[in-house]
Amino acid sequence: MKRYPSALAAIATAAAVALAGCSSPATAPADPSGPVTLTVSAWNLESTPEFRALFDAFEAVHPNVTIQPVEILAEDYPEKVATMLAGGDTTDVLTMKNVTDYARYASRGQLLDLTDLVGELPTDKMAGLEPFDIGGKYAAVPYRQDFWLLYYNKKLFDAAGLPHPDQLTWAQYGELAKKLTSGTTADGQKVYGTYHHTWRSVVQAIAAAQTGGDQLGGDYGFMKSQYELALDLQRSGAALDYGTARTQQVNYRSMFETGQTAMLPMGTWYIASIKAAIASGKSSVDWGVAPMPQLAPGAGTTTFGSPTAFAVNEKAKNAEVAKEFVRFAAGEQGAKAIAAIGVVPAFRSDAVTAAFTALPSDELSKKAFTEDKKIVLEMPVSETTSDVDTILTEEHSLIMTGEKPVDDGLREAGDRVKNEVR
Partner 1 sequence: MVISTEPAVPAMRTRRPPAPATRARRRTLRSILTGWSFILPNFLGFALLTLVPMVFGLALSFMDWSPWTDEPEWVGLENFERMFRNSTFWIALGNTVYYAVGHIPLTMAVALGLALLLNRSLAGLGFFRTAFFLPYVTSLVAVAVVWNMLFNPTSGPINQFLLALGVDDPPGWTSSTAWAMPAVIVASVWRDMGYYMVLFLAGLQTIPTELYEAAKVDGANAWQRFWNITLPGLRPTTFFVLIMCTVASFKIFDLIVVMTDGGPGRATIVLSQLIYLQGIQEGRFGFASAISLVLFVLVAGFTVLQFQLQRRREAR
**How many whole angstroms separate alpha carbon 272 and alpha carbon 193?**
23
Among 4, 133, 251, 405, binds partner 1 (CB under 8 A): 4
384 binds partner 1 (CB under 8 A): no
386 binds partner 1 (CB under 8 A): yes
407 binds partner 1 (CB under 8 A): no
Among 117, 340, 394, 411, binds partner 1 (CB under 8 A): 394
108 binds partner 1 (CB under 8 A): yes
CB of 376 to partner 1, least distance (A): 25
Pairing outcome for strands 36-43 and 65-72: parallel
- 56 or 420, CB closer to partner 1? 420
- 48 or 401, CB closer to partner 1? 401
| Angle between helix 49-61 and 332-339 (nearest 10) | 140
**How many whole angstroms separate alpha carbon 311 and alpha carbon 102?**
9
- 94 or 289, CB closer to partner 1? 94
Q: Are 78 and 50 in contact (CB under 8 A)?
A: no
Among 250, 397, 411, 414, binds partner 1 (CB under 8 A): 397
Cβ neighbours for 299, distance < 8 A, ≥ 6 positions apart: none
5 binds partner 1 (CB under 8 A): yes
Number of residues interacting with partner 1: please give it, by CB under 8 A. 38
Cβ neighbours for 346, distance < 8 A, ≥ 6 positions apart: 126, 127, 128, 129, 142, 143, 144, 145, 307, 330, 335
- 1 or 26, CB closer to partner 1? 1
Q: Are 142 and 348 in contact (CB under 8 A)?
A: no
**How many whole angstroms separate alpha carbon 275 and alpha carbon 281?**
10
**How many whole angstroms separate alpha carbon 189 and alpha carbon 194?**
14
348 binds partner 1 (CB under 8 A): no
Stated as kind and residue range, the H or E segment containing 290 is strand 287-290
- 6 or 33, CB closer to partner 1? 6
CB of 249 to partner 1, least distance (A): 8
CB of 4 to partner 1, least distance (A): 5
Among 39, 83, 308, 318, binds partner 1 (CB under 8 A): 83
**How many whole angstroms separate alpha carbon 164 and alpha carbon 315?**
52
- 125 or 404, CB closer to partner 1? 404
Stretch that binds partner 1, among 47-55, 143-151, 285-293, 399-407 (CB under 8 A): 399-407
- 4 or 61, CB closer to partner 1? 4
Cβ neighbours for 207, distance < 8 A, ≥ 6 positions apart: 213, 222, 223, 225, 226, 227
Among 311, 329, 395, 410, binds partner 1 (CB under 8 A): 395
* Measured CA distances, 377 to 16, 86, 239, 244, 301 (Å): 34, 28, 26, 29, 14
**How many whole angstroms separate alpha carbon 378 and alpha carbon 296?**
21
- 11 or 279, CB closer to partner 1? 11
Among 59, 71, 79, 362, binds partner 1 (CB under 8 A): 79
Stretch that binds partner 1, among 58-66, 226-234, 242-250, 361-369 (CB under 8 A): 242-250
Among 66, 244, 254, 284, binds partner 1 (CB under 8 A): 244
Task: Report CA torsion sign: 342, 345, 350, 352.
Answer: negative
Pairing outcome for strands 301-312 and 261-267: unpaired
Interacting residues with partner 1 (CB under 8 A): 1-11, 13, 79, 82-83, 86, 104, 108, 241-244, 246-249, 386-387, 390, 394-395, 397-398, 401, 403-404, 416, 420
